[in-house]
Chains A and B, each alone.
Chain A
């Protein structure tokens, strides 16, 4: 349902007329107009706190400076966001904060990402007048699984405290003591132990809460970020993947350093769960980057250029002999909507293949908030496309299969190696599309390295039926290619509906085609 848009009113920020939504705050109205009003304690997920005093602005008719984060706009309101008086107050707040700050930026993980640094750069650059002894506090408090609290760097914005109060409702952190001795801490004998703890390091505007998973591994300014969707459950949380563009820079071939939440009020708000945040090793570890040819007749050397010809020839031979019953597919639901659609069209609609199985990770446990029990990202998409999601039946697979196309690494986790080997040995020709170097690969004739969701374009349908598009955040390693590319080449090669394939240059075009055939995807696409 379309929400009724709020009435717009006119306000002035630094004499410039700005349109603002009725009922919004000065800070939000400014943000909407592209004017950043400095703030530390304000976070859009929570009600205004008003404690950092960085966002003070001058409003005509008000004797004192007012908080931009909590003052509601009124028609014709005249706001000065950078008048001399405002800048003076802003500098004053910065001076206070820096007075009791350890200024250990060179060894602070947040350097480069730190709001205090940014604001000092913008408003400060003043000499310190603080000649007194700074307060000594805890600098390395382990407060949770992966979180380190440095109380000296803390600016007491209490974003962390409020997150744990309002989002997780676990209230694991509190403010202790009073005045300049005030500090954030865990309660005696307790710790931040929930599936959302990693968000604390992310919302901390300074280097007070840092993440052991990231700490001291790189500097944030070496990293680039790409947008993607978390595939580790069926929620489809929007994420940013931070990676080192100079990979491999060091001996440890690490490319991805950090996952951050990307705001989406309809899916994950500002958050990702710890499973999604810390579970990124799948992006770099044991990645396949070359076509593997274990068993191949003749003198064929397979490359991506001739692979569709090779596969197409095998399929066409079975098809013309009316033996498509000898074809089997093992799919998974990490494949995108577009890929699953192409698979459905080629094998189910056109070739009438019946042996189609799904090999996914087993179900996990939902956490009651974002994390779903479904462990793969696109089961709903596969259902909407029309697949009957059947688990792999090794007996059925072993009876009369001439040609098997299998996708993904998950098969190995579902059966004992012995059973799997026995079943696959009965299949004449078998090809695996996988992103990983894995024992499983040795059971197939050919293994084709494919891109992960983070490395390709497409869309996923989340547990609530929301279709979300994604673009490549990372380059696929080595020779890896996305499955949709191989599948549309194969479709073209088979020549069954050649016009259809000649007009499908991209996942975007495939999704439009899907919309024409499946109302579910049209509706979501509008």
Chain B
């Protein structure tokens, strides 16, 4: 039986308060994990649950945790709450509606990996949510779920909320670490990976808010149940954030593998004002665009890769026929040009160059060869940058330009 996992109680008033949360069975998973389970058992369960990262890359969480080496150094957990991918707004719902679910995930993950300090790196604009998290954290301390000797298990944990300063790049895990360390937020060269050399050069687990929020459910209901909520290799549900020209934009928690067509036309109520669908960006702005003919597709990691796109953060941006694709391209190129950290050459100059061309086309000064220039420059960025931001920019630019070339040509 498939059901809502993460958003089940979202409608409940004051769910963010610990008493309400506890009445819904809150913190039972923490009790179970800390009192009845060994860290190895938790790790085994999470691995079996095939919980893949919800931030965009889809890396299995359990496997990531198992990369953390056994050392005397302190280990850290960083929860990536720098939700900045355009179209993505699921984590803010989780954190504002049910912050304790996230805290439970953090406690269990930290217990499993042997972590005593966890950081929630939250985007600067989420000021109110950061406050709510702080309140939830202090409630958790008061109730003995944080601090020293949690539930008399001998396990200690502190959680800190750190607000970002407004850079998209700080959602990239190594730039997040730099920023958390108080430095300029630019990505680090990998390897070494954060699991071995992360925050302050110590082993560090970095997971997305939604990923961590699933942990308490896996512990409480078991890996087998979790897998049943999704696909065998891709356990659990997914919170799809639907935005754009649909009747009912919002978040929809659905099993992985739900068809994109159903999400748009059944769950989100179909197109706004009866307009025709033109295109869909299926996984946050970085995901290659799909045309209206390509929406008969299952929303899971592998199906989208097959369709040369990606599930990413599962943020679905719906574009109708009235929207100019040049406007879409302008928004996309402006965003990446603005958000490129500037560290590496192709991303720094390539994105700005493409944006300058697109702006010129929009001003009516485009030339025929500009379309080919956009394609050439984007493919020179793709695969050649220091961090995934280069690809994140090149993928939508290439797919939009290729799939809607005719329409773009009509502007030059």
Contact = CB atoms under 8 A, between A and B. Distances in A.
Q: Are A and B a genuine interacting pair, yes or no?
A: yes
Interface of A: 48-54, 56, 64-65, 67, 70, 89, 92-93, 95-97, 99-100, 129-133, 135, 155-156, 174-175, 177-182
Contacts of B346: 53, 92-93, 96
A48 B351 CA distance: 24
Interface of B: 167, 184, 189, 337-346, 348-353, 356-357, 360, 373, 380, 383-386
Given A48-B189, A130-B353, A179 B339 contact: yes
Contacts of B337: 179-180
In this complex, which of A50, A67, A155 has the most chain B Cβ atoms within 10 angstroms of its Cβ?
A50
The 7 tightest CB contacts between A and B, nearest first, are A182-B342, A180-B352, A92-B380, A132-B356, A96-B349, A179-B340, A50-B189
Contacts of B348: 96, 156, 179-180, 182
In this complex, which of B167, B351, B353, B360 has the most chain A Cβ atoms within 10 angstroms of its Cβ?
B353
21 contacts: A53-B344, A53-B384, A53-B386, A56-B384, A89-B384, A96-B345, A96-B348, A96-B349, A96-B380, A97-B345, A97-B349, A99-B349, A132-B353, A132-B356, A156-B342, A175-B184, A178-B339, A178-B341, A178-B342, A180-B351, A180-B352
Interface residues of A: mostly helix, strand, loop or mixed? loop
Nearest to B372: A129
B356 A133 contact: yes
A155 B349 CA distance: 10
A455 B45 CA distance: 76
A330 B353 CA distance: 69
B386 A50 contact: yes
Nearest to A91: B380
A49 B357 CA distance: 30
Given A64-B383, A70-B189, A95-B380, A178 B344 contact: no
Contact of A100 (B189, B340, B349, B357): B349
B362 to A, nearest CB: 13
A65 B383 contact: yes
Contacts of A182: 341-343, 348
Given A64-B383, A65-B384, A96-B350, A51 B356 contact: no
In this complex, which of A95, A179, A182 has the most chain B Cβ atoms within 10 angstroms of its Cβ?
A179
Contacts of B383: 64-65
Contacts of B342: 156, 175, 177-182
A267 B167 CA distance: 43
Given A156-B345, A180-B337, 4 more contacts: A49-B189, A50-B189, A97-B349, A180-B352
Given A50-B189, A50-B386, A92-B380, A179 B345 contact: no
Nearest to A135: B352
A130 B167 CA distance: 28
In this complex, which of A89, A100, A175, A178 has the most chain B Cβ atoms within 10 angstroms of its Cβ?
A178
Contacts of A70: 189
A56 B343 CA distance: 16
B344 A179 contact: no
Nearest to A47: B189
Contacts of A96: 345-346, 348-350, 353, 380
B177 to A, nearest CB: 16
A182 B338 CA distance: 11
A64 B373 CA distance: 22
B384 A51 contact: no
B349 A52 contact: no
Contacts of A95: 380
Contacts of A48: 189
Contacts of A65: 383-384
A2 to B, nearest CB: 31
B386 A51 contact: yes
A99 B353 CA distance: 8
A453 to B, nearest CB: 43
A522 to B, nearest CB: 46
Contacts of B184: 174-175
A245 to B, nearest CB: 37
Contacts of B341: 178-179, 182
A131 B357 CA distance: 8
A18 B344 CA distance: 30
Contacts of A155: 345
Nearest to B382: A64
B357 A132 contact: yes
Contact of B345 (A51, A67, A132): A51
B340 A180 contact: yes
B386 A179 contact: no
A259 to B, nearest CB: 32
Nearest to B191: A70
Nearest to B189: A50
Contacts of B385: 53
Nearest to A178: B342
Contacts of B340: 178-180
A182 B184 CA distance: 12
B375 to A, nearest CB: 12
B172 to A, nearest CB: 13
A25 to B, nearest CB: 12
Contacts of A132: 353, 356-357, 360
